[in-house]
């Protein structure tokens, strides 16, 4: 499953917040940040977090510095921000990614600095899997 939220710069120096949820039992596999219109703020750092911490997933990545390109970490579109097993993200029981047994709220906060203006647009995309129904092999 994929969920995306978009930040659009409308006023210089204002904080932008986007919120989405991860359903119970989901495993967050990837986070991609893409800037589609240049931010006119000098810097536009974004933190992405969950109930563990406000920057548990991405910490201080500057949207103004990634004009027109997907945020790259080790050649990919993911950056988990605070060293949770490097650029590949956390590993939790049962596989890669971050498991949310009871679900969670994901919050992204971008805090552009002055000077700025109404031109920046960035998209944050969360890629996660939901548990499927297990089927036992049948002997024929």
Peptide bond just before 115 cis, omega within 30 deg: yes
| pLDDT the model gives residue 2 | 77
DSSP 3-state helix, strand, coil percentages of the chain (rounded to 5)? 5, 45, 50
pLDDT band at 62 (very low <50, low <70, confident <90, very high): confident
Mean predicted confidence (pLDDT) in 50-58: 87
Most confident of 12-26, 32-46, 72-86, 114-128: 12-26
Q: State pLDDT tens for residues 98-138.
A: 888 999 999 988 888 876 667 788 888 888 888 775 555 66
Q: Which domains does the chain have, with CATH numbers?
A: 2-128 (2.60.120)
* Burial (Cβ within 10 Å: 0-12, 13-18, ≥19) of residue 74: exposed
Distances from the Cα of 109 to the Cαs of 46, 116, 128, 129, in angstroms?
Answer: 5, 17, 20, 24
| pLDDT the model gives residue 51 | 92
Share of the chain above pLDDT 70, in %: 69
């Amino acid at each position: 499953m994929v969920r995306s939220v978009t930040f659009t710069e409308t006023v210089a120096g204002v904080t932008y917040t986007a919120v989405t949820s991860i359903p119970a039992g989901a495993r967050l596999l990837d986070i991609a940040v893409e800037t589609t219109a240049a931010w006119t703020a000098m810097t536009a750092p974004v933190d992405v977090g969950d109930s563990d911490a406000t920057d548990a997933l991405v910490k201080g990545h500057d949207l103004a510095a990634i004009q027109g390109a997907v945020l790259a970490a080790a050649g990919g579109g993911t950056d988990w921000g605070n060293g949770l097993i490097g650029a590949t993200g956390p590993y939790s029981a049962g596989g890669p990614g971050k498991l949310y047994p009871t679900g969670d709220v994901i919050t992204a906060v971008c805090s552009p600095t002055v000077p700025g203006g109404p031109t920046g647009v960035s998209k944050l995309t969360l890629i996660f899997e939901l548990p499927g129904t297990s089927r036992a092999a049948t002997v024929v």
